[in-house]
Amino acid sequence: MPKSSPRVLSVIPPMTQLNTPYPSTAYLTGFLRSRGVDAVQEDLALALVLRLFSRDGLTRIRDCVERLPERKRSPLLAGFLREFERYLASIEPVVGFLQGRDRTVAHRICGREFLPEGPRFDALDVYIDPDGGDPLAWAFGALGLEDRARHLATLYLNDLADVLREGVDARFEFVRYAESLAQSQASFGPLAQALAAPPTLVDDCLCALALEAIERHAPALVLLSVPFPGAVYGAFRIAQAIKAHDPAIVTVLGGGFVNTELRELAEPRVFDYFDYVTLDDGERPLLALLEHLRGERSRERLVRTFLRDAEAGRVRYVDCGEPDVAFAEVGTPTWDGLPLDRYLSVLDMLNPMHRLWSDGRWNKLTVAHGCYWKKCSFCDVSLDYISRYDGASAATLVDRIDAIVAETGATGFHFVDEAAPPKALKALAHELLARKRAISWWGNIRFEKSFGPELCRLLADSGCIAISGGLEVASDRLLKLMKKGVSVEQVARVTHAFSEAGILVHAYLMYGFPTQTVQDTVDALEYVRQLFAAGCIQSGFFHRFACTVHSPVGRHPEEYGVTLVPLPPVSFAKNDVRFIDPTGVDHDALGVALNKALYNYMHGIGLDEDVRSWFSGRVPRTRVARHFIARALR
């Protein structure tokens, strides 16, 4: 790519993560630079949080709260105003501590007199010591000063986020900002209405940050990557500010949300904010777009790109069909330009496995593109990010790891694959050991039977500290219906092998799958209880099954015994689709019990209790043998 290519700015919009950069811009920036493009990047998600949670930001939040009539001020807001001077004095030391810049503040935080304590601290009542001792001693012990302080500081930040939500912007969340405006919204109307409304303090801060980034980099092309529905509103606000400032700057929308939910985009108003919207992996569409902007390629030869026809005013989709850039040739992601020393390591959950998602700055890397299994009936197996499996050699992967460690100074890696292949992980482990590389890594896998004790020990020797994988509904009948390719016994043996090797295990769990009965749910929880009790898994998360239009259930519902509810006409987002399950089970009520049980299991509580005790109503006795998992392990 010639040096005459325009400068490209890739932006992470709010909200994604606090502890580490979302990797999309790092991948795109590294790839574009490898092709000679002048590419830079900004994390406006982090920048927004740091601006709001500062002395100036809290002062502006207070001003907003004070403008509310007293009758509209909740006890939370009243408490914030009453303790404002303490918040003002503590906010920057707390942020500095969570960034790792001032560890000595931990002593004051743990003294429980430095921080004002709002309703979020009520959660500590769960851990009250009946003997009157330290309620957190079980989690942190005598030596866990910094972790204890990080947990308390996280509760403090969550209190302030609640204040911001109640007193300034009801849509604010640390990771799901205004999510409901975008997720499966058939019409662009709600989002358009929000964008036309008077800006909130959050909007003003975000727009100011966007324009500062434009002034700093002077880009001709801005890429906004939206991985989740909770980043869509922020991306549109940023694009709105850019277009108002300089309409000549080309804006492009892409990312996981677009690839999943905007595949049938027909809303012309989207192009008041974005000049182009691209689907699937961004490398090839961006190369084609840059050639077009330099006058070297016509619009008819763009790749997987939506645009608005200026004359007809309609949305057009253009794809000349050029193949994607091979995974081995996408280059090494770069974090150059991102403030790696300013991310916040927060500690929401005390569970040692669960905390990995929010605590510590991890270099995110992919072992292979797509999923080698791509059969699960609940998954979007028809989409490119799952269906197109493409790998790279272990030598190439370790070369990338070496380059990233040299650039960032950090040796922790999170492999963000849909499911990292066992053969690739084995080869990677051998290459790391052969080169004598000392890194720590974790990632997502399938609970394949090939993960036996020998392979698990090899992965641990190479630096693996944790893995996550899908158990989904712990029911052999439903696992078969899901085409998961595993059984409960197999999952038990695999997870036990990882645990025996000293590797933490997180299980993704599901409820509400088509034809799942109350009996199935009770039995699944019993399997989960036994897995925790046997030390096979240390962490888990229950999520409600959602039928998507791109999954086998959404495409062939008759095979799963359900009927889809017809969707309204779609011009914007299309993903989730409601369905009618003849079993008629109230999964919402069951979900409360499942999550309550799981929360306790992760803290080692209630593992000997009958699983029926977690349910508020009458449920049947489990059909699972009391020692099923123990026998499977023998």
Predicted confidence band at 133 (pLDDT cuts at 50, 70, 90)? low
Q: Where are the beta strands (DSSP E) in 335-493?
A: 363-365, 368-369, 390-391, 412-415, 440-445, 464-472
Ranges of each domain in the chain: 8-17+179-328, 51-167, 349-633
Residue (of 375, 353, 358) closest to 468 by Cα position? 353
Residue 510's SS3 state is strand
Residue 285, CB-side half-sphere exposure with 13 Å CA sphere:
22
Residue 286, CB-side half-sphere exposure with 13 Å CA sphere:
33
User: pLDDT tens digits for 165-200?
Assistant: 999 999 998 877 777 788 889 999 999 999 999 999
| Planar angle of CA 237, 242, 244, nearest 5 degrees | 95
Average pLDDT rounded to a whole number, residues 362-375: 95
Q: How far apart are the first and last CA of the chain?
A: 59
Q: Any idea which architecture 8-17+179-328 has in CATH?
A: 3-Layer(aba) Sandwich (3.40)
Residue (of 200, 210, 167, 187) closest to 48 by Cα position? 210
How many Å apart are CA 32 and CA 345, to the nearest integer?
30
Q: Flag whether pLDDT at 4 surpasses 70.
A: no
How many Å apart are CA 189 and CA 438, to the nearest integer?
51
Residue 158's SS3 state is helix
Q: Which fold would CATH assign to domain 349-633?
A: TIM Barrel (3.20.20)
| Residue 614 main-chain phi, psi, to 5 deg | -85, -15
Q: Please report the pLDDT score of residue 498 as a whole number.
A: 98
Average pLDDT rounded to a whole number, residues 252-278: 97
Q: Flag whether pLDDT at 97 surpasses 80.
A: yes
Q: Which tokens hold the place of 298?
A: 């016509």
Distances from the Cα of 549 to the Cα of 191, 513, 557, angstroms: 22, 15, 10
Predicted confidence band at 345 (pLDDT cuts at 50, 70, 90)? very high
Predicted confidence band at 410 (pLDDT cuts at 50, 70, 90)? very high
Distances from the Cα of 554 to the Cα of 20, 180, 378, 576, angstroms: 34, 21, 8, 9
Distances from the Cα of 300 to the Cα of 294, 318, 517, 578, angstroms: 15, 6, 52, 37
Q: Please report the pLDDT score of residue 1 as a whole number.
A: 42
DSSP state letter for 488 = H
Residue 122's SS3 state is helix
Average pLDDT rounded to a whole number, residues 143-163: 92
Alpha helices in 67-186 (DSSP H): 75-82, 84-98, 105-110, 137-140, 145-167
User: pLDDT tens digits for 489-536?
Assistant: 999 999 999 999 999 999 999 999 999 999 999 999 999 999 999 999
Average pLDDT rounded to a whole number, residues 112-118: 95
Q: Flag whether pLDDT at 138 surpasses 60.
A: no
| Planar angle of CA 233, 239, 240, nearest 5 degrees | 85
User: pLDDT tens digits for 580-613?
Assistant: 999 999 999 999 999 999 999 998 899 999 999 9
Q: Flag whether pLDDT at 139 surpasses 70.
A: no
